[in-house]
């Protein structure tokens, strides 16, 4: 499935997801020069093909908050990918 890279989450339609999550990755291996926000389907515990790339964690948080979809951040579990910085619900 091809990735859809967006500049903002404001215009992403999440209505088809039962439980949407925004997962912030700190310079993942496939995008080592950016922070990456990947939209996940929480019920199925898998990422969608939608992502947003930013230069800083603060930019990611700002965009997530401004989207109006997500209200709180939680820390990843120790078993999660070590590149995950935050998970927004």
- How does pLDDT run across 51-76, given as a tens digit for each residue? 999 999 999 999 999 999 999 999 99
Distance linking the first and last C-alpha atoms of the chain: 24
C-alpha pair distances (Å), 88 with each of 1, 2, 45, 58: 23, 23, 14, 13
- How does pLDDT run across 32-54, given as a tens digit for each residue? 999 999 999 999 999 999 999 99
- Give me the pLDDT at residue 64, please: 97
Q: What is the rounded CA–CA span in Å between residue 39 and residue 24?
A: 9
Its pTM stands at: 0.95
């Amino acid at each position: 499935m091809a990735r859809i890279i967006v500049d903002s989450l404001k215009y992403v339609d999440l209505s088809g997801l039962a439980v949407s999550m925004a997962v912030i990755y700190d310079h993942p291996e496939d995008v080592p020069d950016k922070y990456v926000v990947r939209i996940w389907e929480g019920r199925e515990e898998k990422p969608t093909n939608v992502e947003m790339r930013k230069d800083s964690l603060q930019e990611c948080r700002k965009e997530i908050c401004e989207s109006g979809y997500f209200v709180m951040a939680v820390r990843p579990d120790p078993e999660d990918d070590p590149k995950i910085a935050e998970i927004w619900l």
